[in-house]
Structure 1
Amino acid sequence: MTPGARIAAAIEVLDRVLSGTRAEVALTNWGRANRFAGSGDRSAIRDHVFAALRCRRSFAALGGAETGRGLMLGALRAAGTDPATLFTGEGHAPPAPAAHEAGRAPDTLEALDCPDWLAPPLRAALGPDFAPVMVALQHRAPVFLRVNLARIDRASVIARLATEDIEARPHPLASSALEVTSGERRIQTSTAYAEGLVELQDASSQAVVEALPLTDGQRVLDYCAGGGGKTLAMAARARLRLEAHDAYPGRMRDLPVRAKRAGVQVRLTEAPRGPYDLVLTDVPCSGSGSWRRDPEGKWALTPDRLAALQAIQALVMDRAAALVAPKGVLAYATCSLLREENEARVAGFLSRQEGWLPTLQRRFTPLDGGDGFFLALLTRC
């Protein structure tokens, strides 16, 4: 496919996304309907689509319309490329830009790709980092690996990966973290991945697990395990009696296979029975810290949805707290940047529950290199 044809395909996918189809679904459906497209074409189209979704407001302003065509016109103008060089109307390229598609310079919040209603709470949470964080969220997230330090060290993994044309370097956020600088599409077919020596996991997510007070012999529960990334990261840190739970057990269906590959034992449970020495609650949240990876979430979030999430977070904390042993720890984590989901939820918990001592609160933002995350540790007195 020519560059112009790839842009035309991205326009088609974006129009489907803007009409309500999830981006992954729209991309899959396009690929099935256009089997002539090679892997390079599909990858380029995917990059166009997600770049446009991360910068939806600014590209729409620059492109003159919040449509697939408008977003791609805006993307080229943002990159300093004259759209007329690719919007030629020749072959499968989109038609040339019309006079009414000249676009305009985005205003302040448009330029930061920030929804108007989210600007005040994000400013309150981030302070002077507000604009730099929003700029960081406009760009593609790095690819990180977690080294299974129970089985191998970072230097040895870096050497193993290099033999399969995957380049990686240590990242300072966590002792297990590697940032992949080249060959990321080869990771899941690499021998290091197949042997459980590495897992794909954001560096901030790894730093959250590294901050947990884990020691050999503890009984530990991952209460909102999801796919089990943090479960496996905990298992690599200490010899634990580890259990995983999720309100939707189907999310954990791959965890037993991944645990076996990593050489660890994890028990799945639908009905946790305490007491546990540590309970991790990585609660459902807005995902505002990971909008680089899920840009659709930024535009789909509403005040009502945010309020509903806060209610869920409070409920999860209260239920999980009942499972914590005396002197045990409740770990509360989100991938959110918002105080409403972080510090406010901890304060609300402490006002409802007696006998808990806050021992740590830490916030990560994309300026640290990984996704935005929040962690609070609460010890039962």
Structure 2
Amino acid sequence: MTPSARIAAAIDILDSVVDAARGEGAPADRIVAEWARAHRFAGSKDRRAIRELVYDAIRHCGPIPASGRAAMLALAEQRPELAPLFDGSQYGPAVRGEGEPVATPGIAPEWLMAELANSGVDDEEAAALMDRAPLDLRVNTLKADRDTIEWRERGEPLAAPQGLRFASGTMVEQWPAYRDGLVEIQDHGSQLACAAVAARPGETVIDLCAGAGGKTLALAAAMDNSGTLLACDTDKRRLGNLSPRAARAGAGLIETMLLDPGRELEALRPWHARADAVLIDAPCSGTGTWRRKPEAKWRLTPQRLAQFGNVQDRLLDIAASLVRPGGRLVFVTCSLLDAEGSDRFAAFLERNPAWVCERPDLPLGRSRGEGIRLSPARDYTDGFFIARALMPC
């Protein structure tokens, strides 16, 4: 493909990304993958270059652009070498017209930037949300140890006891260690969130919002396959991905429970006041994961943010009913917004004055309210809020 044809392809993909963001459609990575499958004539270098153009344009635009072309024209203003590629050639984009609309550069929409600022996120932290994320691994201690695996490439040891960092794009999935379940791909911040649970062998632990089970597998390793570990979620497809992952990891203690939204307490009644620990990795805006999903900034609205807060409050109350006296509750969101972090945890403590806050002792992060905040700028992790409370005996 010519450089101009790559620009035209990126514009087509961006049009789909913008439409999906407005209509809550597929995420950008899936749209890019679907384009690649439908255009197999494009070589690997072309696909990689087009993907980079798409994500560079998304990161460069603050508010949602009018079109993919407007987004790419904005990127061309930042990168002058792209401007001549709007040349009207056979497979390239049309020449830029006089007065043609160009997307507004920035980190996120103005209202969302204001929410970040009100949450103590300064300009440096906000800008880091648009960086590219590295690839972090967690060594699965059910099968291996960080110091004994023979690595194809040298990784950077992380503060998490079994964490290693590699360059973005490292083809870990092709390594025998990955295929054999010795390692899992997991952001360093996510590993530290699991460490905050302090799960121990023989305990009863509930992962209330397990999704596809990344944190569940980390809890299973911490428990050394001993005890009871219940993974719950309302998404059948995502929860269904856990069983094969658990088999590969050798995590035999995991039980799964598919929950009906709005009727979670009914299904979980047999577990009332039985858990030593409950992890609530609550659904949220995902502002802390923009390095991986930058188009998420275009999907969020004030109304949707309020809805997330309501869900988080309800999940905290459900989790509290499952913890035995002397047990603990850990609340996690991959967000830098107080509205779904420190504010939610403070509201929980106000509703439940008998509970005692116990700030997690983590090697990274800064205090935020009654919890800990991890951020890309200061901790080189995804953004997280992590808090823990104990139920007195």
**Normalised-by-shorter TM-score class:** 0.7 to 0.9
Is 1:154 the counterpart of 2:154? The answer is no
- Is the Cα contact below 8 Å between 1:169 and 1:181 reproduced in 2? no
Is 1:244 the counterpart of 2:231? The answer is yes
Q: 1:52: which partner in 2? A: 57
Aligned AA (1:268): T
- Equivalent-residue separation in structure 1 for 2:335 and 2:62 (angstroms): 21
Q: 2:114: which partner in 1? A: 120
Q: 1:301: which partner in 2? A: 300
Give the drift of 1:223: 0.6
Cα deviation digits, residues 71-125 of structure 1 (max 9, x gap): 22322332353511x2233342223333435969x6xxx43x1211122321122
- Equivalent-residue separation in structure 2 for 1:181 and 1:24 (angstroms): 19
Aligned AA (2:391): R
Map 1:184-263; keep pairs closer than 5 Å: 184=170, 186-239=171-224, 240-263=227-250
- Equivalent-residue separation in structure 2 for 1:289 and 1:347 (angstroms): 20
Is 1:73 the counterpart of 2:73? The answer is yes
Could you tell which deviates more after superposition, 265-274 or 308-317?
Answer: 265-274
- Is the Cα contact below 8 Å between 1:54 and 1:137 reproduced in 2? no
Give the drift of 1:16: 2.1
SS in 2 for 1:333: strand
Is 1:14 the counterpart of 2:22? The answer is no
Which of 372, 375, 387 is the equivalent residue of 1:365? 375
Structure ranking higher in helix proportion: 1
- Equivalent-residue separation in structure 2 for 1:276 and 1:182 (angstroms): 38
Cα deviation digits, residues 214-235 of structure 1 (max 9, x gap): 2221110101000100000111
Aligned AA (1:161): R
Q: 2:256: which partner in 1? A: 268
Are the structure 2 counterparts of residues 269 and 15 from structure 1 closer, same or farther at C-alpha, using a change threshold of 3 Å? closer
Aligned AA (2:127): V
Q: 1:131: which partner in 2? A: 123
Q: 2:362: which partner in 1? A: none
- Is the Cα contact below 8 Å between 1:329 and 1:379 reproduced in 2? yes
- Equivalent-residue separation in structure 1 for 2:292 and 2:8 (angstroms): 23
Unaligned runs of 5+ in 1: none
Aligned AA (2:31): A
Give the drift of 1:309: 0.8
Structure 1 outlier segments of 4+, above 6 Å: none
Q: 1:144: which partner in 2? A: 136
SS in 2 for 1:330: strand
Aligned AA (1:378): A
Q: 2:161: which partner in 1? A: 175
Could you tell which deviates more after superposition, 360-369 or 43-52?
Answer: 43-52
- Equivalent-residue separation in structure 2 for 1:3 and 1:180 (angstroms): 30
Aligned AA (2:133): A
Give identity over the alignment, percent. 40
Unaligned runs of 5+ in 2: 259-266, 360-370
- Is the Cα contact below 8 Å between 1:147 and 1:199 reproduced in 2? yes
- Equivalent-residue separation in structure 2 for 1:79 and 1:131 (angstroms): 22
Q: Which has the higher contact order (CA 8 A, sep 6+)?
A: 2
- Is the Cα contact below 8 Å between 1:223 and 1:245 reproduced in 2? yes
- Equivalent-residue separation in structure 2 for 1:264 and 1:82 (angstroms): 50
Aligned AA (1:218): E
Aligned AA (2:117): R
Aligned AA (2:9): A
- Equivalent-residue separation in structure 2 for 1:289 and 1:168 (angstroms): 23
- Equivalent-residue separation in structure 2 for 1:90 and 1:289 (angstroms): 40
Aligned AA (1:350): L
Give the drift of 1:344: 1.0
- Equivalent-residue separation in structure 1 for 2:306 and 2:129 (angstroms): 23
Aligned AA (2:14): L
- Equivalent-residue separation in structure 2 for 1:131 and 1:182 (angstroms): 24
- Equivalent-residue separation in structure 2 for 1:193 and 1:338 (angstroms): 34
Is 1:43 the counterpart of 2:34? The answer is no
Cα deviation digits, residues 47-74 of structure 1 (max 9, x gap): 221222222238x9xxxx7422222232
Give the drift of 1:183: 5.5
- Is the Cα contact below 8 Å between 2:196 and 2:330 reproduced in 1? no
